[in-house]
Amino acid sequence: MQELPEEHQISRDLSLRQLQQKVDTWIQEIGVRYFSEMTNLAVLVEEVGELSRIFSRTFGDQSFKKTDLAYSIPDELADILFVLVCLANQTGVDLASAMEQNLAKKTSRDLDRHKNNPKLNS
């Protein structure tokens, strides 16, 4: 596999804002332009399907086929994250702010809900 140029390498401590900038730089320099939002949504669904295939064979009841061996969980999760970041960039969403707001919403809504769920505490 070819080594990435330094400007495209990703630190393990990358913030969401930095990730959004890295993806945008990659798109501008290598990807030429973003696919349309609808195309990226379709690509996202496709990537989630590929992850589902791996999960159904790894953790479910289906067996692997030779064609499945090219897929890996880390690679498919990265593909999904890449497309999500593309969609965020295209629609002007700051993922760091969105995640902070989403976690605050979940915390307010679910503060005791999961602790009191007998299905999770058995």
Cα 117 vs. chain centroid, distance in angstroms? Answer: 28
Average pLDDT over residues 107-117: 90
Q: What would the pLDDT profile of 2-55 be if each residue is shown by its tens digit? A: 665 666 566 778 999 999 999 999 999 999 999 999 999 999 999 999 999 999
Q: What would the pLDDT profile of 55-100 be if each residue is shown by its tens digit? A: 999 999 999 888 888 889 999 999 999 999 999 999 999 999 999 9
DSSP state for residue 62 in the 8-state scheme: P
According to the model, what pLDDT value does residue 46 have? 98
All structural domains of the chain, each given as residue ranges with its CATH number in brackets, are 14-96 (1.10.287.1080)
Quote the CA–CA distance of 91 and 38 in Å, as a whole number: 12
pTM listed for this prediction: 0.84
Go through 86-102 and write b for each residue having 16 or more CB atoms within 10 A of its CB, e for each that does not. bbbbeeeeebeeeeeee
Angle CA(85)–CA(25)–CA(88) in degrees, nearest 5? 20
- In one-letter notation, the amino acid at residue 24 is D
